[in-house]
């Protein structure tokens, strides 16, 4: 028996120590390799190692793969792996009726049931069995049995349970075990005993499928018709790191990356530190103020100064960002947003730093604000951030978020030679240099690098006289400079792409507007609505300050505007204030992504 589906979602859930992330990543990669499009959503607990069996210790990894463009990790799951009662409790609501549940019945003992708050064993519940295809298997025993000849300790043997379920899931989707084996071989290359145990258990899981007595459908999903090219999977944070290095090569400028660890931005630091052999300087500062400050220092010295952080760090950078605005230096802040305010929920996504990015500095301190839309878009937007910073000579904030940062997707690897280079606006003249001489068109000031003979100058936070850069308290000069700094940022609109209607109809009844990681869910919903015959478009804004010059016109082509955000309506407020434009809002501030179902129902309300 086998079913054919357009896309399928699998969720691996278990204790933090159960290796669910590894199983999920392995399965995702294999799915991509088989030619599917994928979207993933790792969802781990806040605790480093929560006690086993607890509800808050559940770690999950959700992956959706399909033959069409896969835009979200899925609202519901077709196959759910629950390694213990807590995992079941936390995730069962996600399982579709008729979906497959794989559970380790050995883990459903009295202690674990109590920790998860179950009075009775749910696996023995008839309703459960009616509603879902339940594969309740003594996985722990089966694994120990499979490894009875292995010299490993029981603890280490049990750690391979993730490979057992992975094998089983591979069987359900008729996957090629060899790819998984390859990955495992690479991972445990230096630990032969662990490697062989993992391989053995993987196979045990796979072949169990064949011998199962209950009827489990084998699910088939055709391959996606992805554009031709060489692919890899990439997360948002990986894409950011690679984008920055690429930008450094494209601009010919050295890269100074400095960061203070903070979830979910730390992985960018880890990557950059690893890429030390690529001539990146990657530094861990003593705090975020030092990070942005030293980035400013590096930028003054002629480097691309970049820092990455999350909300609390962005808040701390407020004052120094003002200095970057005043000195007009190309520094880039990547804000990987997480749920706030304050420490908030550090491991959950949110999009509530937009107004802070826009206005979170005293005085009139405008800067460029960008936002990437998908994990791999971080690659291009990181390059874009560097390009705009180094040609317009101004700080840039690039907004990413936890959902983008950790989510993975297949990415068609660009040919480096085809990426456009640019010339930073650096002073190379021999004439009389003044720090506030500007390019007539862009208003960018000339960036003169210390060491350049004859271009000595002082920049700083005090108001400066136009052109000469001498300290000035002159009233008219101050207003002129305030307006110049504003106008310079406004003119960036001439140097960015016009706003497109990303998906759906170019004009009509409703436009759904978003920014950041809501891209997938909006696009998916709009595609469905258009298929259903509705006149709906999707406008996804990646340039938030300045807005693309035609944005107002584009939005004006629709009768209704719905702004979708994981905050209380920050872009909505910006659109209202900027364009005096009435907009509807759909806001979800729960630290979990907006689902297709939720958005669909909101959209339909407006389409009635």
Q: Closest distance between ligand TPP and the C-beta of residue 298, in Å?
A: 20
Contacts (CB under 8 A) with its own copies, residues 30-59:
46, 56
Length, in residues, of the chain: 608
Does 197 engage in binding with another protein (CB under 8 A)? no
3-state SS, residue 174: coil
Whole-number Å distance between alpha carbons of 331 and 507: 38
- For residue 436, what is the DSSP state? B
DSSP string, 504-522: E-SSEEEEEEE-GGGHHHH
Residue 426 binds which of ligand SF4, another protein, its own copies, none (CB < 5-8 A, kind-dependent): none
For another protein, what does the binding mask look like between residues 149 and 188, x meaning CB under 8 A?
----------------------------------x--x--
Whole-number Å distance between alpha carbons of 400 and 323: 23
**Pairing of the two strands 503-504 and 536-540:** antiparallel
3-state SS, residue 552: helix
Contacts (CB under 6 A) with ligand TPP, residues 52-81:
none
**Rounded to the nearest 5 degrees, what angle is found at the Cα of 26, between the Cα atoms of 13 and 12?**
10
Contact 371, 542 (CB under 8 A): yes
Residues binding its own copies: number (CB under 8 A) = 65
Question: Toward ligand TPP, which CB reaches closer, 254 or 344?
Answer: 344
Give the DSSP H or E segment for 79: strand 77-82
Residue 388: other Cβ atoms inside 10 A: 25
Q: Closest distance between ligand SF4 and the C-beta of residue 435, in Å?
A: 25
- Selected from 362, 417, 418, 533, the binder of its own copies by CB under 8 A is 362
3-state SS, residue 535: coil
Residue 48 binds which of ligand SF4, its own copies, ligand TPP, none (CB < 5-8 A, kind-dependent): ligand SF4
For another protein, what does the binding mask look like between residues 438 and 477, x meaning CB under 8 A?
------------xxxxxxxxxxxxx-------xx------
- Residue 340: which of 329, 355, 325 has the closest Cα? 355
Q: Closest distance between another protein and the C-beta of residue 119, in Å?
A: 20
Q: Closest distance between ligand SF4 and the C-beta of residue 287, in Å?
A: 20
Residue nearest to ligand SF4 (CB): 48
Residue 498 binds which of ligand TPP, its own copies, ligand SF4, none (CB < 5-8 A, kind-dependent): none
Does 303 engage in binding with another protein (CB under 8 A)? yes
Q: Closest distance between its own copies and the C-beta of residue 119, in Å?
A: 21
Contacts (CB under 6 A) with ligand TPP, residues 293-312:
312
For its own copies, what does the binding mask look like between residues 455 and 484, x meaning CB under 8 A?
-----xxxx---------x-xx-xx--xx-
Does 262 engage in binding with ligand TPP (CB under 6 A)? yes
Does 301 engage in binding with another protein (CB under 8 A)? yes
Contacts (CB under 8 A) with its own copies, residues 363-382:
363-365
Does 268 engage in binding with ligand TPP (CB under 6 A)? no
Q: Which stretch binds its own copies (CB under 8 A): 255-263, 269-277, 324-332, 507-515?
A: 324-332
Write out the E strands in 32-161. 37-43, 58-66, 77-82, 95-104, 133-137
Distances, alpha carbon 572 to alpha carbons 178, 367, 372, 514, 576, in Å: 49, 19, 18, 9, 6
Show Cβ contacts of residue 33 under 8 Å, excluding neighbours closer than 6 positions: 179
Whole-number Å distance between alpha carbons of 397 and 383: 12
Question: Toward its own copies, which CB reaches closer, 78 or 565?
Answer: 565
Whole-number Å distance between alpha carbons of 64 and 87: 19
Whole-number Å distance between alpha carbons of 30 and 556: 44
Does 46 engage in binding with ligand SF4 (CB under 6 A)? no
Whole-number Å distance between alpha carbons of 462 and 481: 12
For 587, phi then psi, to 5°, come to: -125, 135
- For residue 155, what is the DSSP state? H
Does 319 engage in binding with another protein (CB under 8 A)? yes
Question: Toward its own copies, which CB reaches closer, 7 or 347?
Answer: 347
Question: Toward another protein, which CB reaches closer, 3 or 456?
Answer: 456
- Which residues sit at the interface with ligand SF4, rule CB under 6 A? 48-49
- Which residues sit at the interface with its own copies, rule CB under 8 A? 46, 56, 310-312, 314-316, 318-319, 322-323, 325-327, 337, 339-345, 347-348, 350, 352-353, 355-356, 358-365, 460-463, 473, 475-476, 478-479, 482-483, 485-486, 567-568, 573-574, 576-578, 580, 582, 588-592
């Amino acid at each position: 028996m086998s079913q054919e589906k357009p896309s399928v979602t699998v969720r691996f859930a278990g204790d933090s120590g159960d290796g669910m992330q590894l199983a999920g990543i392995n399965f995702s990669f294999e799915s991509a390799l088989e030619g599917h499009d994928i979207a993933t959503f790792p969802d781990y607990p806040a605790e480093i190692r929560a006690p086993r069996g607890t509800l808050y210790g559940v770690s999950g990894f959700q992956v959706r793969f399909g033959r069409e463009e896969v835009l979200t990790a899925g609202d519901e799951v077709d196959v759910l792996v629950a390694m213990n009662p807590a995992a079941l409790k936390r995730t069962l609501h996600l399982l579709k009726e008729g979906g497959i549940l794989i559970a380790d019945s050995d883990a459903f003992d009295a202690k674990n049931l109590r920790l998860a708050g179950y009075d009775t064993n749910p696996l023995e519940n008839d309703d459960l069995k009616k509603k879902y295809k339940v594969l309740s298997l003594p996985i722990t025993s089966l694994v120990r049995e499979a490894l009875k000849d292995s010299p490993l300790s029981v603890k280490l043997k049990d750690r391979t349970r993730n490979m057992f379920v992975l094998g089983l899931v591979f069987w359900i989707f008729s996957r090629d075990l060899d790819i998984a084996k390859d990955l495992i071989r690479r991972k445990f290359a230096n630990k032969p005993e662990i490697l062989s145990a993992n391989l053995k258990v993987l196979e045990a899981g796979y072949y169990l499928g064949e011998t199962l007595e209950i009827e489990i459908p084998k699910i088939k999903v055709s391959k996606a018709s992805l554009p031709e090219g060489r692919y890899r999977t990439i997360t948002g944070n990986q894409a950011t790191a690679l984008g920055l290095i690429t930008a450094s090569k494209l601009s010919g400028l050295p890269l100074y990356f400095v960061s203070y660890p903070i979830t979910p931005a730390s992985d960018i630091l880890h990557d950059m530190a690893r890429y030390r052999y690529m001539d990146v300087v990657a530094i861990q500062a003593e705090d975020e103020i030092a990070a942005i400050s030293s980035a400013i220092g590096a930028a003054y010295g002629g480097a691309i100064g970049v820092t990455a952080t999350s909300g609390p760090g962005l808040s701390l950078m407020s004052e120094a960002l003002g200095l970057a605005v005043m000195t007009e230096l190309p520094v880039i802040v990547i804000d990987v947003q997480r749920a706030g305010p304050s420490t908030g929920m550090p491991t959950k996504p949110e999009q509530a730093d937009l107004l802070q990015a826009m206005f979170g500095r005293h005085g009139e301190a405008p800067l460029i604000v960008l936002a990437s839309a998908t994990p791999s878009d971080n690659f291009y937007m990181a390059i874009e951030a560097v390009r705009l910073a180094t040609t317009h000579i101004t700080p840039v904030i690039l907004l990413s978020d936890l959902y983008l940062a950790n989510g993975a997707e297949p990415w068609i690897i660009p040919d480096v030679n085809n990426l456009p280079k640019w010339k930073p606006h650096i002073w190379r003249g021999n004439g009389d240099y003044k720090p506030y001489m500007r390019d007539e068109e862009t208003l960018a000031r000339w960036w003169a690098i210390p060491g350049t003979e004859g271009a000595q100058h002082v920049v700083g936070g005090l108001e400066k006289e136009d052109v000469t850069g001498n300290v000035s308290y002159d009233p008219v000069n101050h207003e002129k400079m305030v307006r110049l700094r504003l106008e310079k940022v406004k003119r960036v609109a001439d140097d960015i792409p016009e706003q497109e209607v990303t998906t759906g109809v170019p004009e009509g009844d409703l436009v759904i507007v978003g920014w950041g990681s809501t891209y997938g869910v909006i696009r998916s919903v709009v595609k469905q609505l258009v298929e259903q015959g509705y006149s709906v478009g999707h406008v996804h804004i990646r340039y938030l300050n300045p807005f693309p010059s035609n944005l107002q016109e584009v939005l004006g082509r629709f009768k209704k505007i719905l702004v979708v955000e994981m905050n209380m309506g920050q872009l909505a407020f910006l659109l209202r204030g900027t364009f005096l434009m009435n907009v509807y809002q759909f806001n979800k501030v729960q630290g979990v992504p907006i689902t297709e179902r939720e958005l669909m129902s909101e959209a339909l309300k407006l389409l009635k």
